[in-house]
Structure 1
Amino acid sequence: MINLQQGDCLELMKNIPDESVDMVLTDPPYGMAFQSRYRTSMYEKIKGDQNLDWLDDFVEEIFRVSKNNTAHYMFCSYHHIDIFKQAIQKRFNVKNIITWVKNNTSMGDLKGDFAPKTEFIIFFQKGRRLINGKRDSNVFEYNKTRNELHPTQKPVDMVEYMLSKFSDEGGVILDPFMGSGTTGVAATNLDRSFIGYEIDEDYFKIAEQRISEAQL
């Protein structure tokens, strides 16, 4: 089952029944008005990234739709990781902060700061979901994408790994901030059902095409 819709996820999620989702895996706006410096001529600022006023309502909604004893992931930046963590732990059990070590460094202050090479993923559960297979480290080492399709595009192989550890075939995966559709591609590759929402029309079309090709 693949269900893709363009629009505001806070409105669209109202149509999801209570306790029907096996995992939320998403990369939301970080509340920092991000614009890629590497491809400024290619990408506009991310929609909804001006503030985090939506975050508490979003956490309430993903809690409502999530089944009991399920595990979830949310990407975030160090800039507001404290705000994300505090919002999530109002409803969920925050189990870990995963560090993703990328194969290259970001820009930032070239002469007044260390070169950033990491990103963070909040791992949280509703109840307790046991891991599939062996227990691995909370440090992920995966190559960064070249962001050809989206300014914060994530690697499919890493998302597949994340899905495989805490969801099963046939499970329902929700990504309310779908972007270019990486979570949907990974879910399709692993025989999971997928619900994906994206507010930006251009990114939605890219995601729709990528996920359709993954189904072939």
Structure 2
Amino acid sequence: MLTDPPYNIGGHMKSRGSGVHRLRENHFSICDWDNVDEDVWEQHMLELAEELFEKVKTGGAVVVFMAIIKVQTLKKIFEKAGFYYKTTGIWHKKNPMPRNMNLTFINSTESWLYFTKGKPSGTFNNDGKAIHDYFETGLTPKSEKAFGKHPTQKPLKLMSHLVSLLSNKGDVVCDPFCGSGTSLLAAKNLGRNYVGFDLNEEYLSITQKRLG
């Protein structure tokens, strides 16, 4: 599983009065799906983790993108569901939006957590090379948003990196929050099978167009 669920920090962002949503069209902080009660969000994440534990094969990988301030919370939730915690990695954005750059540090990183099911090791296609838990790309290019915009769309290069490392050709890549479908497109391009879900019909339409 490779997914980028709601971080549920929209309310936090707005409460700080940073005005980020005024700087970028369709910013996640104004989306209803990123602003629910914290207890509700945690329960939803636990239900997701428990359902996944029933579906993921033994040795299968689960990678979940998450805001850094939520990493420990998500780690505990997935461990409670039975998953083995492997590591936390970082995606560094080389060209982040320079908001408030004269007031504070530019926010240029997001984290991802890597779990396995049933045993402490799974597929790792590193060809004997050392792979760091740090991956750097630019933001999602305009060419990957040709069919529509998603406020948290990840670049194809990033998702392809994770798919190629942690799965084999013919495996199934699942994304229960597929958004604009980047994880599924990465799977398709790399010879994996794929299945994705999203509650938003507009985003599903983008995914269908991208997958052809």
- TM-score bin (small chain): 0.7 to 0.9
SS at match of 1:94: strand
Matched, 1:87 2:72: no
Greater alpha carbon shift after TM alignment, 50-59 vs 108-117: 108-117
Q: Partners of 1:55 and 1:42 in 2: how far apart?
A: 22
- Runs of 4+ off more than 6 Å: none
Structure-1 residue corresponding to 2:122: 129
Give the C-alpha shift of residue 32 in structure 1.
Answer: 1.4
Contact 1:28 1:75 in 2 (8 A): yes
Unaligned runs of 5+ in 1: 1-23
Q: How does 1:4-153 map to 2 (within 5 A)?
A: 24-33=1-10, 36-40=21-25, 45-51=30-36, 52=41, 53-90=43-80, 91-106=82-97, 109-126=100-117, 127=119, 128-132=121-125, 133=127, 134-146=129-141, 148=145, 149-153=149-153
Q: Partners of 2:184 and 2:31 in 1: how far apart?
A: 19
Query: In the alignment, residue 131 of structure 1 is paired with which amino acid?
Result: F
Give the C-alpha shift of residue 116 in structure 1.
Answer: 1.2
Q: Partners of 1:150 and 1:44 in 2: how far apart?
A: 13
Structure 1 residues 182-213: Cα deviation after superposition (integer angstroms, max 9, x where no partner): 0111010011110000110111100111011x
Give the C-alpha shift of residue 107 in structure 1.
Answer: 5.0
Give the C-alpha shift of residue 135 in structure 1.
Answer: 3.1
Structure-2 residue corresponding to 1:179: 179
**Number of corresponding residues:** 189
Query: In the alignment, residue 31 of structure 1 is paired with which amino acid?
Result: N
Query: In the alignment, residue 92 of structure 2 is paired with which amino acid?
Result: V
Q: Partners of 1:121 and 1:209 in 2: how far apart?
A: 27
SS at match of 1:185: helix
Query: In the alignment, residue 81 of structure 1 is paired with which amino acid?
Result: V
Query: In the alignment, residue 25 of structure 1 is paired with which amino acid?
Result: L
> Structure 2 vs 1, CA of residues 122 and 186 (structure 1 numbering), >3 Å: closer, same or farther?
same
Q: Partners of 1:41 and 1:151 in 2: how far apart?
A: 6
Structure-1 residue corresponding to 2:210: 210
Q: Partners of 2:191 and 2:3 in 1: how far apart?
A: 18
Contact 1:100 1:140 in 2 (8 A): yes
Give the C-alpha shift of residue 104 in structure 1.
Answer: 1.8
Q: Looking at secondary structure, tell me which structure has more helix per residue.
A: 2
Structure-2 residue corresponding to 1:3: none
* Identity rate, percent: 31
Q: Partners of 1:43 and 1:205 in 2: how far apart?
A: 19
Give the C-alpha shift of residue 143 in structure 1.
Answer: 1.4
Structure-2 residue corresponding to 1:163: 163
Give the C-alpha shift of residue 162 in structure 1.
Answer: 0.6
Structure-1 residue corresponding to 2:16: none
Q: Partners of 2:178 and 2:21 in 1: how far apart?
A: 18
* TM-score normalized with structure 1 length: 0.79
